[in-house]
Amino acid sequence: MPVLHDPIAISIGGFDIRWYAMFILGGIVGAVSLSYLLAEIRGREAPGLTGDFLLDIAPPVVIIGLVGARLYYVLLKWDYFSDHLGEALNVRTGGMTIHGGLVAGVLTIWVLCRRSNQPFFTWIDLIVPGVALGQAIGRWGNWANQEAFGTPTDVPWAVSIEPNRRPVGYEQYTTFHPTFLYESIFNIVNAVLLTWLVLRVPRSKLLRDGDVAGVYLILYGAVRFLIERIRTDSLYIGPLPAAYWISFGLIGAGLLLIAGRRIGEYRK
């Protein structure tokens, strides 16, 4: 896989727009579009469920999600940013974490659903397929920035990394596992699966609102844990990569969500 030598996509009047930003923006558009389509389809069978609500909440969810994604990254690298506070706001060269974005985004959706008397579990089910698609697109920003790659390898699909972007201890290697590609492929497959499940929920006796979100949390947590094992740029919390802890938390949250929806039904 060739390297993208110029991270600048467009220059307008001295203002540079980087490929990283273009992929992130493309991911956001893809996520909102898919979730809107699913909301409109499900709304045909559920009065009051409409894609208009999604468009209303999309701006604050996206903005707060991006803030959460950056804040989590900054906190994990506080030893550096405590001495370079001005760079905490510079996201042009990367430094966004999906885990921080997920937590901030879900909390924002919960608050907005409560304020508008909308079914929270239904909406997170409708939104997670879009999230998976957005991740699939956004991950290519890592390719543009030559980051989030794995250990050295000579497989045919390996990505070439320029010398100044290679991690300490790996300077002698030229090609590495494109872990961003692995995650992107998984997220495309996951988006298809989650979309199928969303459309099945109203007609299934086994599925409940919230199950699709639970499946997303379990699958993404498991796959991210596996991919993180070959990453060379992991951020740590204690003795383990931060992504390990979060992956464990996502899997646990997914299992609790699926089980909790059924326990709640049983108690009624």
pTM of the model: 0.90
In percent, how much of the chain has pLDDT > 70? 94
CA distances from 5 to 33, 145, 160 (A): 31, 9, 10
When the pLDDT of each residue in the chain is averaged and rounded to a whole number, the result is 89
Domain boundaries, the chain: 18-260
* Residue 266 pLDDT level (bands cut at 50, 70, 90): low
| pLDDT higher than threshold 60 for residue 267 | no
Q: What is the pLDDT of residue 92?
A: 63
Which token pair is 195?
């979309």
Over residues 88-99, the pLDDT tens digits come to 777 666 678 888
Least confident of 60-64, 74-78, 146-150, 262-266: 262-266
| pLDDT higher than threshold 80 for residue 8 | no
Q: What is the pLDDT of residue 191?
A: 98
Q: What is the pLDDT of residue 76?
A: 83
Ranges of H-type helices in 44-119: 51-76, 78-81, 98-116
The position carrying tokens 């300077």 is 171
Over residues 143-165, the pLDDT tens digits come to 888 888 999 999 999 999 999 88
Q: How many CA atoms lie within 13 A of 194 on its CB side?
A: 32
Q: How many CA atoms lie within 13 A of 132 on its CB side?
A: 27
Instruction: Report yes or no: 211 and 261 within 8 Å, Cβ to Cβ.
Output: yes
* Residue 4 pLDDT level (bands cut at 50, 70, 90): low
* Residue 264 pLDDT level (bands cut at 50, 70, 90): low
* Residue 48 pLDDT level (bands cut at 50, 70, 90): confident
Q: How many CB atoms lie within 10 A of CB 112?
A: 17
